Structure 1
Amino acid sequence: MELFGVIAATLTTISFLPQTLKTIKDKDTSGISLGMYSIFTTGVFCWTIYGFIIGDLPIIIANVVTFIFALTILVMKLKYK
């Protein structure tokens, strides 16, 4: 059961990598919603805290990595507004 969670966490986390790399490369955030990424980044942060509270390593790792990707995009959205 935990392996299934690890696979799911890996896939959903990796799905943010192409957008993050494209945003870094192009410095174009015009197609990205500031509201959506603000809410999403906050939600991922909350999931990370939840992972620590329950001691679930797959939730912690997946959300820390996703948080870094989402925060990168959010910061670039604010910077290149």
Structure 2
Amino acid sequence: MLLYKHLIIGYIAAFLTTSAFLPQAIKTLKSKDTRGISLVMYSMFCTGVFLWLLYGIMINDLIIILANFTTFIFSFSILLICFLNLKNKDKRIK
């Protein structure tokens, strides 16, 4: 029974932390506006989430794998737009 409660807590935590990125990802994908987003923070975050994904794969934990894969996709899409905007800004300055 105790293991079952741990799983429920893990699934709820994974769902909440993963789905928290969905509104920002949707907003950023629609608007392409990344002016208020820290490139350093998202770079570090994406790297950390990717390492959590690798860790989940190494220990064969499905919830860690799914949650971090999904979070990585959301956060990396925002990071990619940040880089593209930075590249386009540099082109406009030259």
Same fold (TM over 0.5): yes
Residue 31 of structure 1 aligns to a residue whose secondary structure is coil
Give the structure, 1 or 2, with the largest relative contact order (CA under 8 Å, sep 6 or more): 1
Q: State the Cα distance separating 1:80 from its structure 2 match.
A: 1.2
1:63 corresponds, among 68, 71, 81, to 68
Gaps of 5+ in 1: none
The structure 1 segments of at least 4 consecutive aligned residues displaced by more than 6 Å after TM superposition are: none
Higher Rg of the two aligned structures: 2
Check if 1:11 corresponds to 2:16: yes
Q: Distance in 1 between matches of 2:26 and 2:60?
A: 30
Q: Root-mean-square deviation (CA), in Å?
A: 0.5
Residue 71 of structure 1 aligns to a residue whose secondary structure is helix
- Normalising by structure 1, report the TM-score: 0.97
Structure with greater helix share of residues: 2
Q: Percent identity?
A: 56
Give the match for residue 50 of structure 2: 45
